[in-house]
Structure 1
Amino acid sequence: MDLDAVRTFVAIADAGRFQHAATELSITQQAVSKRVAALERTVGVRLFARTPRGAELTVDGRAFLPHARELLRAEARAFASVRPGHRALRVDVIGRGLAPAALLRDFHRARPDVELDVVTLFDADAAVDAIRSGTVDASFRAVATTGHRLPDDIEVSRAFDEPVQLLTGPAHPLAAARAVTPADLVGHRIWMPGLVPGTEWAAYYDALAAAFGLGIESTGPDFGVEPLLDTIAGSGALATFVGEQTRLVWPAGHDLRRIAVRNPTPVYPHSLVRHRDNRHPALAALRDHLHDAGGSGHSGDTETWTPAWA
């Protein structure tokens, strides 16, 4: 259906005369007549009756009018949904309980006027594809900036570094430690069943294991966070790695311990990935927020480690 013809129909219904509608729409009266005639052919009925008082809606015209108004409202909503500055800023995060989601919550508190649409894609490759296709505006990911060529239209900037912690149950040999070094972890079993080969988080922990001679296991099915915490809580041999800002909730009886890793501190390199040509104004506001936040999640221990590819 020709929405210009629908708009003309509504203008005539409101103004009561073809000439008044023509003036409102800045077109000729002849153009108004042609649009109405075309619309009447489309719907198959007469919409107006000409009278000495002007143009009056027929019975069919009165039935069609509320639907015509809804068509124009739908058109306005459709344009607003994609107009920069009007549609929500769509941002991908690796998980809703992980550090990037927490950063977006901080951004929302600082800028409640910015509408956000938060999504979770599978991995960095999926995120880059979505950014290039326009499905999302930006993504927080750990991406390889060396040894792997990103598309020329993709821009990456380091957002913040998140320290990695050791998580143990109360019976683990390291449970009483306030901090450990990577060397202290050699020979201990670190269980991370969520590591998926080919993903950026698997690449990170593979590099961490290789750099410090650690035994990181990804065997067994991944049933999610709660079963993992249950297993760690009841084990005297297994531990796992978690991000410092990862939100975890467990029963009080689990008595899990989050232990800092230092000298050096492994940090997970979160970067903001975006398209070079994206002009969404809220994206600039997000970048400013990251800059004001300092661009780093770690403090105190200045000796850190991250993979060379990051």
Structure 2
Amino acid sequence: MDLRQLRAFVAVVDAGTFTDAARELDLTQASVSRAVAALESSLGVRLLQRTTRHVALTTAGTQVLAGARRVLDEVAHLRRVAARSLTELRIGYAWSALGRHTRRVQKAWAATHPGLPLVFVQSNSLTAGLAEGTADVAVVRKALDDPRFETALLGTERRYGVVATDNPLARKRSLSLADFSRYGIAVDDRTGTTTLDLWKPGAAPAVVRNTNSVDEWLTLIAAGQAVGMTSEATANLNPRPGVAYRAVKDAPPIAVWLAWWKDQPPQHLNDLVALACEAYRG
């Protein structure tokens, strides 16, 4: 079977007759009839009961119709995605885009590529939307061990501790890893950058609370039910009443990469990498 046959079948059902379907598709009636007959032959079942005045779905036709509509909808979606890739460049991110550099990169991009908007889209997945097809490139803060993707290192960010404003740690100007040991810690084990490997054996927080989004994570911390650790980008882009961010002076920095499909790099990729790297150097 092919898409032409599916379109003809759906058009006949929607229009009610082969003649009207042919008019909608800008084809001859004979072409539409042959396409539907070929679909029936391919599937090995009768889909339509034909009379001189109208057509009616068979039982099998009713079931095939639902699937045909889904296939055609998916094809239309793919076409929209392809068309969108020509009119905007979508950057996926799981947590905080490029942090304080986000607006600077957007403005610099708009000045040099006015016909191709740079759009940031959030996707809480390991590839920040790349594998799901919602992003053309992605900002990631966990190394992608996947041969399908290529990455470029943009720079590094400091780690920040995140605590409720009424937590005693909020009164300190900076924190150390040891300050976390007596608290439960909230993490996102899919896309987050905090793991117990940051602490020496026996010094890590005793309780780990897993969360699924930035909002859930911040809500848990603001309620005093856990503390957290994150990149400085989160501190820049996600202020929250009841939450205090404090730099962690002895924690290693977080590497920030830009990732894309190895076999399908987006247009103007080199320009984007250069702009982002320049922002982090600055």
Judge same fold: TM > 0.5, yes or no.
Answer: yes
Distance 1:230 1:144, change over 3 A: closer
**Cα-Cα RMSD:** 3.9
Matched, 1:167 2:162: yes
Uncovered stretches (5+) of structure 1, i.e. residues with no partner: 3-37, 45-77, 297-310
* Equivalenced residues, count: 206
Q: What is the DSSP-based 3-state SS (H/G/I as helix, E as strand, rest coil) of the residue aligned with 2:158?
A: strand
Partner of residue 117, structure 1: 119
Distance 1:294 1:240, change over 3 A: closer
Alignment of 1:28-67 (within 5 A): 41=28
Q: In 2, are the aligned partners of 1:209 and 1:216 still within 8 Å (CA)?
A: no
Alignment of 1:63-102 (within 5 A): 82=82, 86-95=86-95, 98-100=96-98
Q: What is the DSSP-based 3-state SS (H/G/I as helix, E as strand, rest coil) of the residue aligned with 2:238?
A: coil
Deviation at 1:241, TM superposition (A): 1.8
Alignment of 1:130-279 (within 5 A): 130=132, 136-144=135-143, 148=145, 150-151=146-147, 153-182=148-177, 184-185=178-179, 187-192=181-186, 194-196=187-189, 199-201=190-192, 204-210=194-200, 213-215=203-205, 217-219=207-209, 224-225=216-217, 227-232=219-224, 238-246=226-234, 247-251=237-241, 254=242, 256-262=243-249, 264-279=250-265
Task: Determine the C-alpha separation between the residues in 1 that align with 2:123 and 2:206.
Answer: 25
Q: What is the DSSP-based 3-state SS (H/G/I as helix, E as strand, rest coil) of the residue aligned with 1:180?
A: coil
Structure number with greater Rg is 1
Find runs of 4+ consecutive structure 1 residues off by over 4 angstroms.
78-81, 125-128, 220-223
Task: Determine the C-alpha separation between the residues in 2 that align with 1:213 and 1:294.
Answer: 32
Distance 1:281 1:211, change over 3 A: farther
Deviation at 1:180, TM superposition (A): 2.6
Task: Determine the C-alpha separation between the residues in 2 that align with 1:84 and 1:161.
Answer: 31
Deviation at 1:120, TM superposition (A): 2.6
Task: Determine the C-alpha separation between the residues in 2 that align with 1:257 and 1:40.
Answer: 66
Percent identity, aligned pairs only?
Answer: 16
Task: Determine the C-alpha separation between the residues in 2 that align with 1:186 and 1:86.
Answer: 47
Task: Determine the C-alpha separation between the residues in 1 that align with 2:202 and 2:172.
Answer: 19
Q: What is the DSSP-based 3-state SS (H/G/I as helix, E as strand, rest coil) of the residue aligned with 2:155?
A: strand
Distance 1:43 1:212, change over 3 A: farther
Task: Determine the C-alpha separation between the residues in 2 that align with 1:265 and 1:221.
Answer: 22
Q: What is the DSSP-based 3-state SS (H/G/I as helix, E as strand, rest coil) of the residue aligned with 2:157?
A: strand
Distance 1:185 1:99, change over 3 A: farther
Q: What is the DSSP-based 3-state SS (H/G/I as helix, E as strand, rest coil) of the residue aligned with 1:292?
A: helix
Task: Determine the C-alpha separation between the residues in 2 that align with 1:280 and 1:99.
Answer: 18
Task: Determine the C-alpha separation between the residues in 2 that align with 1:123 and 1:92.
Answer: 10
Task: Determine the C-alpha separation between the residues in 2 that align with 1:143 and 1:167.
Answer: 19
Pick which of 281-290 and 221-230 moved more: 221-230
Q: In 2, are the aligned partners of 1:190 and 1:241 still within 8 Å (CA)?
A: no
Q: What is the DSSP-based 3-state SS (H/G/I as helix, E as strand, rest coil) of the residue aligned with 2:239?
A: coil
Uncovered stretches (5+) of structure 2, i.e. residues with no partner: 5-24, 32-77
Q: What is the DSSP-based 3-state SS (H/G/I as helix, E as strand, rest coil) of the residue aligned with 1:266?
A: coil
- The one-character-per-residue Cα deviations of 1:130-171 (angstroms, maximum 9, x if unpaired) are 4xxx653211113336xx5x21x4211222222111123344
Q: What is the DSSP-based 3-state SS (H/G/I as helix, E as strand, rest coil) of the residue aligned with 1:160?
A: strand
- The one-character-per-residue Cα deviations of 1:8-53 (angstroms, maximum 9, x if unpaired) are xxxxxxxxxxxxxxxxxxxxxxxxxxxxxx9573699xxxxxxxxx
State TM-score, norm by structure 1. Answer: 0.53
